[in-house]
């Protein structure tokens, strides 16, 4: 009789461990998927910026300095990608340079009539939004995951099952603002 | 209306409300099944049993038919909606801004990219349909595309994405089927009772089911109305929920607030819209609901009330 009770308890603990494990795996995978989405969008921005500079450089011939700064920031961000510690600040600097360029473009009415420029403009806006939303979803996922692994009773098993805490993705404030550019 | 200050609390409250409403509907359907079964058993045996086995069987049958019918509706429902006049699937190059906004919000919601459709009409409206996450469609009208700003469009798309992620379309199909089934069975019960009464007149006083017949008569008349009211209440709760979820995605209630303001003025009916599809839209395309319309039978909450709740979320 007591053997059966003992066996029952073992099975119950086993089932509970499976549930905890699966819950944590699900949470971690969601966060990792979200992370890769941020990566995709940052790369997209790296690809877009040279194109934008290419189409505006004739019209903005007197803004060589700004254009060079944007390209330089973009190249720095590309070089830093893959390194989480350097990537954040480099991407933030790139955002700042991009905003500067977009603001300067306001002074060139002939650009507003250019379909190509308008199209790149929309592309850059959506990419900025996607970076912000992907980061938001990633941070929400990480929060949910961290809360789950710190909650009782999962906290008893999480560390020994190999589930460490995950870090939020922080970028300086400038990254969050979508460029406000009215081309009309 | 309780003052909800954040979208998580607003969503939780809406989910609780919906669960209560669904429970009411289930009890209603099961109860009618039981009553009908009990009456049939009484008719055949001549006395009212304490626990009617036929009643339990009938309640089970109601559940089984409801599930099967729901499955069929879900399988074919999409096609019916998508054949709406002038609806056409678009790609990125057809309407870049719309497509981009849908992509942005699908990232914010963490769901796969749905199909994007444009309805060729000047009316302002939008809807979503899909029976599971990963197989969804978001459609907006041409009029909407032409008259909303990027932020407003984002709010509307986020509302539709919320319907997809919360599986509201599936929810409403199941609710609709249950309501339809209740109406059908009540109708059948009323007809059967007419025949039954004629027969028992002949036999004179084989009663025991007399009270049961009166109960069933009252239930059969009132239940379809109650079920309809519950269905509409569920629909309204899901609209509030989608509004709150929209803010979770965009973190910007102002876009949806000003979009709803514009939609309220120009949500005209257009070809392909019918009573069967009216609940799918962001604002009801057929009826304008104001605080004065009887709220019991409205698919959507009053737009002013929706805007007030959104402002409560920090707009």
Domain extents in chain A: 2-175
Contacts of B97 in chain A (CB under 8 A): 122, 126
- The catalytic residue among B160, B239, B265, B304 is B160
How confident is the model at residue A184, as a pLDDT? 43
Q: Do B239 and B300 form a contact (C-beta atoms < 8 A)?
A: yes
Distance from CA of A134 to the nearest CA of B (A): 6
Residue B16 lies in a domain: yes
Closest-CA residue of B relative to A132 is B108
Contacts of A134 in chain B (CB under 8 A): 107-108
How confident is the model at residue B204, as a pLDDT? 46
Average pLDDT by stretches of 10, chain B with 315 residues: 52 75 82 82 72 81 80 71 73 91 93 90 86 83 92 95 84 81 83 63 53 81 86 86 91 92 77 68 72 67 86 75
CATH superfamily, domain A2-175, is LemA-like domain (1.20.1440.20)
3-state SS class at A33:
helix
B150 touches chain A (CB under 8 A): yes
Residues A146-173 pLDDT 10s:
888 888 878 888 888 888 888 887 765 5
Does B43 participate in catalysis according to the annotation? no
Residue B112 lies in a domain: no
How confident is the model at residue B26, as a pLDDT? 82
Residue B103 lies in a domain: no
Distance from CA of B71 to the nearest CA of A (A): 28
Q: Would you tell me which residues 42-81 of chain A have a C-beta closer than 8 angstroms to some C-beta of chain B? A: none
Domain count, chain B: 1
Are residues B251 and A136, on separate chains, in Cβ contact within 8 Å?
Answer: yes
- Report the alpha-carbon angle A29-B166-A141, nearest 5: 25
Contacts of B105 in chain A (CB under 8 A): 133
Are residues B110 and A122, on separate chains, in Cβ contact within 8 Å?
Answer: no
Q: Do A78 and A50 form a contact (C-beta atoms < 8 A)?
A: no
How confident is the model at residue B58, as a pLDDT? 82
Rounded CA-CA distance B67/B73 in Å is 10
How confident is the model at residue B151, as a pLDDT? 92
* Helices A84-105 and A64-80, packing angle to 10 deg: 160
B101 touches chain A (CB under 8 A): yes
Residues A50-108 pLDDT 10s:
988 888 888 888 888 889 999 999 999 999 887 767 777 888 888 888 878 877 887 88
| Segments forming the whole domain that contains residue B46 | 7-84+168-312
How confident is the model at residue B6, as a pLDDT? 60
Q: Is B87 left (phi over 0), alpha (psi -120 to 50) or beta?
A: beta
Are residues B100 and A123, on separate chains, in Cβ contact within 8 Å?
Answer: yes
A129 touches chain B (CB under 8 A): yes
DSSP code of B281? B
Starting at the edge strand that comes first in sequence, how are the strands of the sheet with B87-89 ordered? Answer: B87-89, B115-119, B135-141, B126-132
Query: What value of ipTM does the predicted structure carry?
Result: 0.76
How confident is the model at residue B153, as a pLDDT? 96
Instruction: Report chain A's terminal Cα–Cα distance, integer Å.
Output: 82
How confident is the model at residue A16, as a pLDDT? 87
CA distances to A133, B130, B133, B164, B189 from B115, in Å:
20, 10, 12, 12, 43
Distance from CA of A133 to the nearest CA of B (A): 5
Contacts of A41 in chain B (CB under 8 A): 107
How confident is the model at residue B275, as a pLDDT? 67
Q: Do B121 and B86 form a contact (C-beta atoms < 8 A)?
A: yes
Are residues A126 and B100, on separate chains, in Cβ contact within 8 Å?
Answer: yes
Residues B14-64 pLDDT 10s:
777 778 877 888 888 888 888 888 877 777 776 666 777 878 888 888 888
Could you please report the per-residue DSSP string of B135-196?
EEEEEEEHHHHHH--HHHHHHHHHHHHHHHHTTHHHHHHHHHHHHHHHHHHHHHHHHHHHHH
Q: Do B84 and B129 form a contact (C-beta atoms < 8 A)?
A: no
Distance from CA of A13 to the nearest CA of B (A): 31
Buried-exposed string B8-38: b where 16+ CB fall within 10 A, e elsewhere:
eebbebbeebbeebbebbeebbbbbbbbbbb
């Amino acid at each position: 009789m007591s053997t059966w009770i003992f066996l029952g308890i073992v099975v119950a603990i086993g089932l509970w461990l499976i549930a905890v494990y699966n819950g944590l795996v699900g949470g971690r995978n969601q966060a990792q998927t979200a992370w890769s989405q941020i990566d995709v969008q940052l790369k997209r921005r790296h690809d877009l910026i040279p194109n934008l500079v290419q189409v505006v450089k004739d019209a903005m011939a007197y803004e060589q300095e700004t254009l060079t700064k944007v390209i330089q920031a973009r190249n720095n961000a590309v070089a830093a990608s893959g390194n989480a510690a350097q990537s954040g600040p480099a991407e933030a600097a790139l955002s700042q340079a991009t905003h500067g360029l977009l603001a300067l473009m306001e002074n060139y009415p002939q650009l507003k009539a250019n379909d190509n420029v308008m199209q790149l403009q929309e592309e850059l806006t959506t990419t900025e939004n996607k970076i912000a939303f992907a980061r938001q979803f990633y941070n929400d996922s990480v929060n949910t995951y961290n809360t789950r692994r710190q909650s009782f009773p999962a906290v008893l098993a999480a560390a020994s099952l190999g589930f460490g805490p995950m870090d939020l993705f922080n970028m300086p404030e400038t990254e969050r603002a979508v460029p406000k550019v009215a081309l009309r | 209306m309780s003052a909800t200050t954040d979208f998580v609390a607003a969503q939780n409250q809406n989910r609780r409300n919906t669960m209560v409403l669904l429970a009411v509907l289930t009890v209603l359907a099961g109860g009618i099944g039981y009553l009908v079964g009990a009456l049939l058993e009484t008719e055949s045996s001549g006395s009212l049993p304490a626990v009617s086995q036929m009643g339990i069987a009938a309640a089970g049958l109601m559940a089984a038919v409801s599930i099967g019918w729901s499955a069929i509706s879900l399988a074919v429902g999409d096609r019916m909606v998508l054949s709406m006049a002038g609806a056409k699937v678009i790609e990125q190059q057809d309407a870049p801004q719309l497509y981009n906004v849908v992509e942005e919000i699908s990232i914010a919601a963490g769901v796969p990219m749905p199909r994007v459709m444009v309805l060729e009409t000047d009316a302002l409206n939008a809807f979503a349909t899909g029976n599971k996450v990963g197989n969804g469609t978001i459609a907006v009208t041409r009029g909407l595309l032409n008259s909303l700003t990027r932020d407003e469009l984002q709010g509307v798309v986020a509302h539709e994405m919320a319907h997809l992620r919360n599986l509201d379309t599936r929810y409403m199909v199941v609710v609709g089927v249950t309501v339809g089934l209740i109406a059908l069975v009540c109708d059948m019960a009323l007809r059967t009772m007419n025949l039954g009464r004629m027969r028992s007149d002949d036999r004179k006083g084989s009663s025991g089911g007399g009270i049961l017949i009166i109960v069933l008569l009252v239930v059969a008349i009132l239940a379809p109305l109650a079920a309809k009211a519950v269905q509409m209440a569920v629909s309204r709760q899901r609209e509030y929920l989608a509004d709150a979820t929209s803010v979770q995605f965009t973190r910007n209630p102002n876009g949806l607030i000003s979009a709803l303001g514009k939609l309220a003025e120009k949500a005209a009916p257009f070809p392909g819209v019918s009573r069967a599809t009216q609940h799918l839209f962001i604002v009801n395309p057929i009826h304008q609901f104001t605080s004065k319309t009887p709220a019991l039978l409205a698919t959507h909450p009053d737009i002013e009330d929706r805007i007030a709740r959104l402002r409560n979320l920090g707009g």
